[in-house]
Amino acid sequence: MSESSQLMRQWRLLQMLSSRKYGVTLQEMVDETEVTSRTLLRDLRLLKSVGFPLTEQKRDHGKKFWSLANDSGIAQLHFTLEEAAALYLGRQFLEAFAGTFFWKGSQQAYRKIRSALSEHVIDYLDQLASSVHLTQNQMVDYSSRAQLIDDLMVAVEDCRITVLTYQSMRSTEPVTYYDIHPYALVFHKGALYLIAWSADHQSIRTFKIDRISDVEVQSGLMKFQVPDDFDAAQFLENSFGIFGDQHKPQTVRVLFSAQVVRILEEKLFHSSQKLSRQKDGSVIAEYLLSSFEEFRSFILSFGQHAMVLEPVELVESIQEEITAMKACYEKQSTTINHP
């Protein structure tokens, strides 16, 4: 199991312990997490060793209860006013996770911070927050999908085989996939995505969370093994966004006119981006990519100021899109002139 899966399991364990006032038995933890008692005991020892205030008590009939002290909040952390203010101001950056347990936890933390600060300080911070605006135009509202996301996180951390009902952009109807192995959740440009191996496709695929209508996590016995060489960052390394591809990456060369060179120099659009200045002020940009889907849209957004030089398949794909767009506008022009 990956390190990230262990951390997620331990995070959920902390949630359980924190929310149960009278503690939780080891058997209750096993039943709710469907993880072995040996693994959970190892998690509990680790959490205690790094400083979490975990306690173990024997009660009636010698039954042991684990609990997490809830009296060690902001005072124990010794937040300075500056640190508390910074956390309070940062709350808007978690709005994309509205409805998930990350968001719920953050809201509880912000309420505690707010109660510890004077009204004058809160008023000042609210004014300060309004001076740094985070646009929400491309942020997805996940408040109605909290349970779905939690189920997927359980599937990821426990390596559970999952059934997904999904409708892609190209599908006219939702499709149910019965053998999905969730590897990782990725947050990209205001939206959540699931990277998973799909038996139907016999490959690793990327699923957009807001296109998933139903999730069914199979029982604890239905588990899969994450490949030792899988890493979400490496899988996406040669993509131009979120849609990775297992094909061998190719070198892409694009000629950008002098009018848009500054845009390329102001921002690194991909880790492999290399810019070569030309005598006329233009730039030839090189990228190492395994998928062209998102990159094609990027190139088309520059209009006449970007021309793909290679590979040939991408050049032809761009040409086909331009031809289709031209035909679309010609048809519209004919309709407007001859109603």
Task: Indicate the pLDDT class of residue 318, thresholds 50, 70 and 90.
Answer: very high
Which bin fits 51, alpha (ψ -120 to 50), beta or left (φ > 0)? left
Residue 194 pLDDT: 94
Average pLDDT over residues 21-27: 84
Q: State pLDDT tens for residues 153-211.
A: 888 888 899 999 999 888 889 999 999 999 998 888 878 899 999 999 999 999 999 89
Residue 300 pLDDT: 95
Extended strands (E) in the chain: 54-58, 64-68, 162-166, 175-188, 191-198, 203-208, 212-217, 250-256, 274-277, 283-289, 306-310
Closest CA to 135 of 71, 61, 189: 189
Examine the pLDDT at 266 and tell me if it is beyond 60.
yes
Q: State pLDDT tens for residues 31-73.
A: 888 788 888 888 888 888 877 778 888 877 778 888 876 555 4
Examine the pLDDT at 280 and tell me if it is beyond 70.
yes
Residue 257, CA atoms < 13 Å, CB-side half-sphere: 8
Closest CA to 156 of 1, 317, 319, 325: 1
Instruction: Enumerate domains of the chain plus CATH numbers.
Output: 3-68 (1.10.10.10), 74-130 (no CATH), 143-236 (2.30.30), 250-330 (3.30.70)
pTM for this model (two decimals): 0.67
Residue 2 pLDDT: 52
